[in-house]
Amino acid sequence: MQQHETYFTMCLPESEAGNIRHFPLAPGVYLSFIRIHTDFWPVPPQEEADHVLLLNYCLHGRCEVTLSNGKLAYLSDGQFALSLQQLAKPCFYPNSFYEGLEVFLDLELLRETPYLLFAELGIDLSELCRRFRLSDSFCLLPLPERTAELLSCLWKLDGTEDISTMKILLAELLLWLSRQERPDSPHVQYFTPAQVQIAKRVQSILTADLSTEHTAKELAGQFGVSETSLKTYFAGVYGENISAYMRRARMRHAAFLLETTQMKISEIALQTGYDNQSKFAAVFKKAYQQSPLEYRRSKWLEKV
């Protein structure tokens, strides 16, 4: 963790994992700019609180949100949500990639030490929680033009230390939300920790050896659930069905092997689950707009 005068940057030992720039705007008010390439991220100690109102804006990727009732929900590209958490949890990003904004509001600390800017604007966070019925839900919000503008302006402050503008934009966003009636929220799927654990274990089995095929029926039998339930859990956590997820995983691994090894394309096809090299090449070209050989040549030329 790198400490600066107005913020700190949290990094993992792996340099390619990305970083989180975390700004304490006031006691109990924290804004994070998140750019990561990993599936798991520990929580900075400054985020620990008994009652947290979380504003989460996902630009790209997918993230897991743990609700105060113990259930879990998932946020995807372009979505904005409000939720309550009892404790800040380690962050899970199912697709190992995420860019977005998170605002943590420590409700107990803000009750004990009111933030003057919020008080002057009449922003009542407890009323906001009641209005959006956050005690047991995850509220996905539409993005009317003004909300989208404010979130976009906040995101553009990543890379700066413009604390004053961050405070103003956040206050305006909360003021705007506090004046809205609860909108019709898109349907949200909720999952128990046990259901999510099944999805994660299935993902681990599927990706352990990309040359091996596993059927949903076979996997469902291992975990004692119906095939339909297993597919629902997996799609709910990872945002797509098993076949689409595995196709992307195989193509990512194939691209890595093409770029970093001199393996024959026929061998790479076999390692990624394709007995037919022509079918492998067609799927790869659809994913990367280049044949495997063209992709390899272009990556090697970049290194020259």
Written in H, E and C, the secondary structure of the chain is CEECCCCEEEECCCHHHEEEEEEEEECCEEEEEEEECCCEECCCHHHCCCCEEEEEEEEEEEEEEECCCCCEEEEECCCEEEEEECCCCCEECCCCCEEEEEEEEEHHHHHHCCCHHHHHHCCCHHHHHHHCCCCCCEEEECCCHHHHHHHHHHHCCCCCCCHHHHHHHHHHHHHHHHCCCCCCCCCCCCECHHHHHHHHHHHHHHHHCCCCCCCHHHHHHHHCCCHHHHHHHHHHHHCCCHHHHHHHHHHHHHHHHHHHCCCCHHHHHHHCCCCCHHHHHHHHHHHHCCCHHHHHHHHHHHHC
Give the per-residue pLDDT at 18. 87
pLDDT reported for residue 88: 58
Q: Which pLDDT belongs to residue 283?
A: 97
Fold of 2-178: Jelly Rolls (2.60.120)
Look at residue 197 in the predicted model and tell me its pLDDT.
97
Note whether 2-178 and 193-303 share their fold.
Answer: no
What pLDDT shows up at residue 40? 86
Measured between alpha carbons, how far is 147 from 139 in angstroms, rounded to an integer? 15
Whole-number Å distance between alpha carbons of 124 and 72: 26
Phi, psi of 93 (to 5 degrees): -120, 100
What per-residue confidence (pLDDT) applies to 58? 96
| pLDDT for res 86 | 63
Domain ranges of the chain: 2-178, 193-303
Task: Give pTM, 2 decimals.
Answer: 0.86
Residue type, 53: L
| pLDDT at 133 (0 to 100) | 84
Tens-level pLDDT at each residue, the chain (304 residues): 555 566 678 787 776 788 899 999 999 999 999 999 988 887 655 555 567 899 999 999 999 988 878 889 999 999 999 998 765 567 899 989 999 999 999 999 999 999 999 999 999 999 999 888 887 678 888 888 999 999 999 999 998 999 999 999 999 999 999 888 776 667 788 999 999 999 999 999 999 999 999 999 999 999 999 999 999 999 999 999 999 999 999 999 999 999 999 999 999 999 999 999 999 999 999 999 999 999 999 998 887 6
CATH class of 193-303: mainly alpha
